[in-house]
Structure 1
């Protein structure tokens, strides 16, 4: 397959920077554009000490894609703007790989329709770490045998949405396999509202936000006399890059919506 022409949206964020480095250093694909509200007008390659001709940071996504031929947009922006970015990309016939979280079930239905209508792909990936994908798969398998479960997700203190997309996706996978979503058959009293976490169809999700963390999740099952903990830790953002490269390899062969990296694992 010919090399792909890639634009990174949110290129100056911490994940965006890692994606830019990966495309330039570790793929045969071409970085043709970068967008970010920060550092507009500067050369992203100079900022990140990368080789090759300059790629100037632009502040407007629509203007950027109108100037050049783009095969794929990789979006790592914010929940507040991600749907606007997705709709803009898909409507212009560009494949989307999205790591930004905060996308709802209603959003996914809209994304699927837009992608199909425009004959392109939308890969919505709550977590690009392959270890995290396996954690979710193992948690879903355990749900066939154990019913009582809670999720603790821990992220850096700059993450604005809670719970994480990974936690939401994990709960969905567990509930698909669980015999029942009923657990803790007592009338609980929360002395502090929210102390028992959020509720996703019977699964409690607890969100922790602290400096020093990157992305971590525990799925804890409990039953009489025993417990099972399935945990994944990302210690740096490079842990997500093999998943980004996998998505880049797969996206051009897909039409419509794909939700979750596990769907493109061989």
Structure 2
């Protein structure tokens, strides 16, 4: 659709969701939020999609909440009220989500990056938690950002709003990789090629495992993880993987 702000396409097992609202730096407007949620849901239920890439058009990945819509809105009408659902969709997606940044991310845009399982950026991309500089709090995004960031860096960057580059974003845990702009497409493909090699059920279960709350004792943790592991060894997907390994062929789930 010509007036669509978020696009969805699938190729070779990779679903690409593209933010396409460059006129406002891909700000999280009501329309963009709605379409992003719809496409994330579509990817979750699309059997042809094994991996999700969150991409963008224009020079900016995402500038955060749409401040034009936020101005003058009552507390109950603020768009930020809808944002947790989007972050949870990305965080809890049974399919790996990779954020691809060819340009800057600010505020809520950084929340999207942190919610993704893997994040790759051009090395000239920049980041900032600009909320305090306009008198608001980076509260919602802290839920996905704080598990990623080194604590000292989180305190510094949340409180100062200082801009930082992609290489520092890698050092503090926000990004997995920062590469020259010309190498960004190849770096994204390197990750998606690896991700599509994983069994879809195993990938979903591994994501859940990584997000789980740890039991009180080591024995309880081992018991739960042993049950999970044994179940997957015996599962149809696990047995297919074992057989494919023995036969020196690719498993039947590889696109």
Structure-1-length-normalised TM-score: 0.31
Q: Greater RCO between the two (CA within 8 Å, min separation 6)?
A: 1
Higher fraction of helix: 2
Higher fraction of strand: 1
